[in-house]
């Protein structure tokens, strides 16, 4: 791993409890396990790989960290076919062409050899910094940026291989110019929905934490923090039903994002306590696959509500 400047002490992260409390101040409620993973990632200056089902709050960790530490949130959304040009850098060819035309008109390129002409074209002023390179460009007197590499499992193997240098050395090499090394290394959060396995070489460079769905009590807290206008009784009903649905083996169990949407929808319809009629009318805010909705309708919301209440 790269040597980290002594100024990068992360004095804010004095303890796990401090991390949990600080993230809570950003309206992100976490348990001790995730709080410990974040604390260690900050103190050891290691990337944090978060895996878990969609909607459990992995991306929100990076947003909360950015708000807490005061650094810019730089997000790289991964997808199939992502390459260096979109992820790290590319050259502004149109700007280079304009420069050539202007220099030719002014007569300033006469007498230049090929090497000198290339040096004038491949200059930093023509370099377009994409998220990875931008995350290495923070000045030494600024807070560390938070680099979110979101859904890395959607990218190709080649992109993971490119990440290795950056995550090991906090540096990116541009062949035409040289190495860009961070004065202030970014806080790196990598998320994966585990649609495929992330390679061991990448995992070795990261700390790892599996983000599970919250239990009922924690989800009630989250609902009350993120949507304080939702009545406590309704928040409890929503959390209990969501917990029951996650145990049914659905194609896409509801995440925290869906329970928040569901609670908001119920409030907009004037529902204070959940009943069968309200649940059936708003199921589209909770379950996003027809097969899951059909399965719930076949079982009946009345039974689900009864089981959830008993649980």
What pLDDT is recorded for position 311?
65
Residues 79 and 165 in one domain: yes
What pLDDT is recorded for position 269?
94
| Of 143, 145, 119, residue with least CA distance to 133 | 145
Sequence-separated (6 or more) residues with CB below 8 Å from residue 7:
140, 184
Residues 306 and 228 in one domain: yes
Residues 171 and 271 in one domain: no
Give the range of the structural domain holding residue 70, as residue numbers without chain letter: 16-85+134-210
Residue 99 belongs to a domain:
yes
Residues 139 and 68 in one domain: yes
What pLDDT is recorded for position 4?
43
What pLDDT is recorded for position 293?
93
- Domain end position, chosen among 168, 183, 210: 210
Cα 211 to Cα 34: distance, rounded to the nearest angstrom: 7
Residues 201 and 144 in one domain: yes
In the chain (311 residues long), the average pLDDT of successive 10-residue segments reads 44 83 94 95 95 93 96 96 91 89 71 67 90 92 94 92 88 90 94 92 95 95 94 94 92 94 95 91 93 91 84 65
Under 8 Å between Cβ of 152 and 62? no
| Sign of the alpha-carbon dihedral angle for 234, 235, 239, 245 | positive
- Domain end position, chosen among 182, 210, 238: 210
Cα 16 to Cα 38: distance, rounded to the nearest angstrom: 8
Number of domains in the chain: 3
Residues 139 and 223 in one domain: no
What pLDDT is recorded for position 9?
44
- Domain end position, chosen among 176, 210, 244: 210
What pLDDT is recorded for position 12?
63
What proportions of the chain, in percent to the nearest 5, are helix, strand and coil? 50, 10, 40
Residue 11 belongs to a domain:
no
């Amino acid at each position: 791993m790269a040597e980290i400047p002594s100024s990068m002490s992360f004095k804010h992260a004095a303890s796990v409890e401090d991390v949990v409390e600080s993230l809570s101040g950003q309206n992100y409620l976490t348990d001790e396990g995730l709080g410990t993973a974040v604390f260690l990632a900050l103190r050891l200056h290691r990337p944090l790989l978060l895996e878990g089902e969609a909607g459990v709050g992995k991306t929100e960790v990076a947003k909360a960290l950015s708000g807490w530490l005061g650094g810019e949130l730089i997000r790289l959304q991964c997808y199939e076919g992502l390459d260096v040009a979109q992820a790290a850098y590319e050259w502004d060819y149109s700007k280079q062409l304009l420069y050539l035309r202007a220099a030719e008109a002014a007569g300033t390129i006469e007498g230049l050899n090929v090497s000198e002409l290339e040096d004038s074209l491949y200059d930093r002023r023509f370099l377009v910094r994409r998220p990875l390179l931008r995350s290495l460009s923070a000045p030494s007197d600024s807070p560390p940026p938070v680099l979110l590499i979101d859904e890395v499992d959607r990218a190709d193997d080649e992109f993971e291989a490119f990440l290795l240098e950056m995550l090991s050395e906090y540096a990116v090499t541009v062949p035409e110019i040289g190495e860009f090394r961070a004065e202030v290394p970014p806080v790196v959060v990598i998320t994966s929905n585990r649609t495929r396995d992330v390679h061991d070489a990448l995992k070795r460079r990261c700390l790892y934490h599996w983000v599970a769905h919250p239990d009922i009590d924690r989800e009630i807290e989250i609902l009350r923090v993120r949507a304080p206008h939702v009545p406590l009784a309704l928040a409890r009903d929503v959390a209990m039903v969501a917990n029951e649905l996650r145990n049914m083996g659905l194609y896409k169990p509801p995440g925290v994002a869906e329970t928040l949407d569901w609670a908001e929808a119920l409030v907009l319809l004037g529902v204070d306590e959940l009943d069968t009629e309200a649940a059936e009318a708003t199921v589209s805010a909770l379950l996003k696959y027809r097969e899951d909705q059909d399965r719930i309708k076949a079982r009946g919301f009345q039974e689900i509500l009864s089981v959830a209440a008993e649980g």
